[in-house]
Structure 1
């Protein structure tokens, strides 16, 4: 036996037994595995392109705009059967109809009370002054003076824009949906936190609910609940419930184990532990969950305009369909004001719980005096609000929202003029950017995906899933592909996938640049993060307005809106990953004379690989959700078919099939990227 380099022992005639070879050659190291994976993906890509060249345009399963498959016709028949059986089916009579009638009755009652003319009156029972007073008092009671002023100002602004009734209807749908989410979601989250088996059952269901693009909910729920307020509430409930459940579970699980052990040692029952310790300590986190739930509900309540849901979504949708950028901007701005108002109020409410906890550390006497003073102010505010309600009920000028100042029409005219000037001035730049991106990225990728034989594309996607995410990702991919094939919309799905991938690429490029900058600079983080927070507050519907103004009704409009929608979440994840790189590693690299570029490319991004892959996952899902919404402004693909299904009765089945295909595509992309992230981390 001899001694080799660096003191490693060798057997004569054999290589040193190093960390690279002791587990079976260099292929076992992470770097070697990644290299092998890259080679396999490159081989798949080369083979794919060669087959595409040979069989381009063959067996693409393309379906004309008005063409329908037997499955689409069957879905139309299913709709007719549903409608015919509403009066005779046990399910409809004793399950669906009571839910639908109950939700419609609650919405109608609140509309008659606050927003619509009722009881033979030309105005609602509670006029605008009473509504503003009640909302302001509620904001003060929950969140404080600043939130009260914000709510009063923004609610009045929505009225002065000319959308008073629509704004209050949006608040009604959001309020009912969030209330139902709280009733269902918080107990579900508590049970998941205390029962691992129940959590294991619910987690995949919540995953699917969060993965599905919101457009996918609309057609099937319209089929069951019809169009109107009830369907809008149920749709919003499905979309907004998962964040509340997950955050509630996280808050309860986050309570210190030592605290729980101390309480248990004192003989507390499970119910006492939950109600007296876990829920109070997790209160702030649960309120954050309500905040996220509220924002999701507001976002979905606007999209629900497609199924005749009342609120601000209707004027935005009408303006987009008429290509009226000025009116779309004003109604979209009203939605943004609502979003900011609700976001800041619920955020302030969560912060108040922390302040209250700190105040409780003072003397009992000071606590008592503070509580009494606040209780008195709240009661006085309630009395003032009730007086305002009485006055608004009895006096027409305080009931009907004033027609002046009318800010909406002048602002719409200004925006339309500005849009016309922008298009005229920068049309060369925007048109060039759109054309270059379309010619260099969108068209080639769409041709590669949609003009390849369907079986080639199916095998390519399965191979990518297997290489990137393993056999589980490949198995789920096979199931999702079978669903897409079953809908008869394989070609349209590939077109949607192409648009999604291009938008995701742009999101990753922008998010990486901003995320690295934020992760390396606290000043940059302090500047950019509030902007990203503001962008995340805006409902997805609103992003279509500026994109439509800049690029007109084209598929690139959907891409542009999707990029702006997906960048904030991806940027934050990458910034957090860069910031999480060990300072010891950074210092060691700096001591070796590493340049800033080398630090980013060779150290920080590689060590943030898990965060980057997660950013790709989340950015991709956000993009997919927005790309299909882009069907409203010429985006084409599956989103256009969903919209057509609502507007043309004979295409209902095709639109519903498109919703199913969107769901399968979303699950497919989510599983591949999530399993890829897991394998990257391990």
Structure 2
């Protein structure tokens, strides 16, 4: 064979390998082509047609939204509008009930100098209720948690937070569980309600504050309403899911016995879906607790006030101690609701003797609780929480001293990390997304949407981008999108590393999962505290706080996906001599790519929920617009436009990743088959 022919064969083989690589991962190569083309166009057109406007500019759309908010506020302040009058009446009724609860537990009703029930009665009631719904082991968590609230110096604020959380959750469950039942049994209702729930869950928590403060003013009524609306979607969606997953065989068996629809629901469906419904209640409690903290911006009572006041004044010790109380409350409520889902099964295992013993303990506990409530009503020592031991003051001072030490000794190191990250990564990515001509960025996003999620993702993305353009905040939306994508990329990297380790090792899972559980219960303000100490207020701080908030849920999803790869597939790969690295990259990660995309989806939404909070610490973008609209009445219209824009961004990102996960899941199923 001649040298020329040998070269031709080599060239053909190389071309065949390239074609094979492209055919093996066509979407990946298509994405790479879009990004490369985008970078080439950006390098020539940077800074042209970006639709950037100044922070003080208000366009016609913003003024129209301003006029609309003014007209709605006027309608709610008058008695002529029936809907406004009904909503105001409902809010006033809830405010009255909550005020009564405060007089009962935390606020002295005039002329009495102390609340009706003091700390001793409150702790006794909490212990009795916990034993009744979750068992004695949880009493050992709940009672010390209440004592810590007092010893840390935030008894009243902590109880107020629990009151507004549990009060909102109770109403959310009364409304949400029946609606979830209705969705599970009616495709029409499900088709109508699901998009509404999507919008409610996509909207970042802080965005709710602006319209509710317009409608109901500043105070407990608005805080209760916003907490209720934000917390209701999880219990609706998860209750419907639990009822849909009840075995059809069981339902057919009950139908053969002649049971009616109501009997089947009460005696079969709800008991079988009970554990899933309680998971929904748990998620509703976590959402209500997070919003009850954020609602401090509209004068909502509770622990949010000292957290925000400490952040505003740079007193991070105050914010840390109050934030610690929030974490304690979150862990306590999370563990109690989780244990309550298992109590019925534990009672069945305990048998008749266990049930008799439990009734005796409940009866004795009820008597003891009544005595404690009476003492806390008539005795000052049992009403006002004792001032000693004071754990809050030394802890607060220690955190402030430690923060000063970090700023003094690590400022050069942390500044170097922040500056290098911002200069070499964040700024170039933001320039590509926000400084490209708006139509170039729009086309690139549409192409990415169709490659990842298909035609349905393309349609949703086109609608959302059109809405963002019409709201006249395109540039700020792209700045926010950059921060969200960068934070999500970091979240996914961390989640893959930790998730693979957890999925492959039970020991690693047991060691890491408690930290993830605790991380999932942390309300969004709390991660800001240590990051602000280290890096100060800037975009980098907002991104790191969002990463801390989003990593737990993404990591759990990746770990579950890795763990879900069949042992037979792993054994087959090992039999071929695959190394550990090859097993992870060639088998487990490809087989779990549906879980990876779902983890990306949830990481995106969690990061997006931190956008406005990031706007308070120098992140700019849409978060800054919302905060400014909230604080300055003349910018309410622009703030509302920014809130709607964030919702559109959230829906767009959610649809791209959700439909992408569905496509990857279908590929995964075909591969397994």
Please indicate, yes or no, whether the TM-score normalized by the shorter chain is above 0.5: yes
How far residue 252 of structure 1 moved from its aligned partner, in angstroms, is 2.2
Match of 1:47 in 2: 37
> What's the counterpart of residue 315 of structure 1?
306
Q: Does 1:544 align with 2:528?
A: yes
Cα distance in 1 for residues equivalent to 2:103 and 2:236: 32
Answering whether residue 329 of structure 2 is matched by residue 345 of structure 1, we say no
**1:565 paired residue number:** 549
Provide the residue aligned with 1:305 in structure 2.
Answer: 296
TM-score (norm 2): 0.92
Q: Distance in 2 between matches of 1:644 and 1:400?
A: 40
Partner in structure 2 of residue 663 of structure 1: 647
**Residue 26 to residue 596, structure 1, CA distance change in 2 (3 Å):** closer
1:485–1:283 Cα change, 3 Å: same
Kept in 1, the 8 Å contact 2:347–2:354? The answer is: no
CA contact (8 A) 1:321 1:633 kept: no
How big is the shift at 1:88? 3.6
Contact 1:255 1:278 in 2 (8 A): yes
Q: Retained in 2: the 8 A contact 1:213–1:624?
A: yes
Q: Could you tell me how far apart the structure 2 residues matched to 1:278 and 1:678 are? A: 28
User: Which of 42, 46, 57 is matched with 1:67 structurally?
Assistant: 57
Q: Confirm or deny that 1:485 pairs with 2:469.
A: yes
1:284–1:354 contact (8 Å) kept in structure 2: no
Number of residue equivalences? 650
Asked if 1:600 is matched to 2:584, the reply is yes
The alignment's C-alpha RMSD in Å is: 2.1
1:218 is aligned to 209
Give 1:531 deviation, angstroms. 1.6
Cα deviation 1:580-637 (Å, max 9, x = unaligned): 2222221121111111111111121111111111111111111111233222222222
Q: Match for residue 356 of structure 1?
A: 347
Q: Does 2:439 align with 1:449?
A: no
Counterpart among 462, 474, 480 of residue 458 in structure 2:
474
Q: 2:275–2:342: 8 Å Cα contact kept in structure 1?
A: yes
Q: Distance in 2 between matches of 1:611 and 1:150?
A: 34
* Maintained 8 Å contact 1:96/1:225: no
**How big is the shift at 1:192?**
2.1
User: Corresponding residue for 2:503?
Assistant: 519
Which residue of 2 is the match for residue 186 of structure 1? 177
Contact 2:347 2:355 in 1 (8 A): no
More displaced stretch, 149-158 vs 175-184:
149-158
- 1:92 is displaced (CA, Å) by 5.2
- Give the distance between the partners of 1:216 and 1:28, measured in 2 at CA: 48
Q: CA shift at 1:292, angstroms?
A: 1.7
* Superposed CA offset, 1:468-505 (max 9, x none): 21222111112111221222211111111111111111
CA distances 1:264-321 after superposition (whole Å, capped 9, x unpaired):
2121111111111221222222222212211121111111112221111111111112
Q: Distance in 2 between matches of 1:41 and 1:252?
A: 39
Secondary structure of 2:525's counterpart equals: helix
Aligned partners of 1:32 and 1:298: how far apart in 2? 49
Partner of 1:167: 158
Cα deviation, 1:31-64, whole Å, max 9, x if unaligned, reads 8666332333233222222222222212212222
Q: Distance in 1 between matches of 2:525 and 2:24?
A: 39
Asked if 1:680 corresponds to 2:664, the answer is: yes
Matched residue, 1:390: 374
1:437 to partner: Cα distance: 1.5
Is the Cα contact below 8 Å between 1:431 and 1:551 reproduced in 2?
Answer: yes
Gaps of 5+ in 2: 1-15, 667-673
Unaligned runs of 5+ in 1: 1-24
The SS at the match of 1:633 is: coil
Quick one: distance in 2 between partners of 1:76 and 1:161? 43
Equivalent residue number for residue 37 of structure 1: 27
Q: What does 1:50-199 align with in structure 2 at a 5 Å threshold? A: 50-85=40-75, 86-91=77-82, 93-199=84-190
- Map residues 501-520 of structure 1 onto 2, 5 A cutoff: 501-520=485-504
Deviations 1:330-358 (A, max 9, x none): 11001011111111111121121221243
Q: Which sits farther off after the overlay, 371-380 or 591-600?
A: 371-380
* Matching of residue 420 in structure 1 with residue 410 in structure 2: no
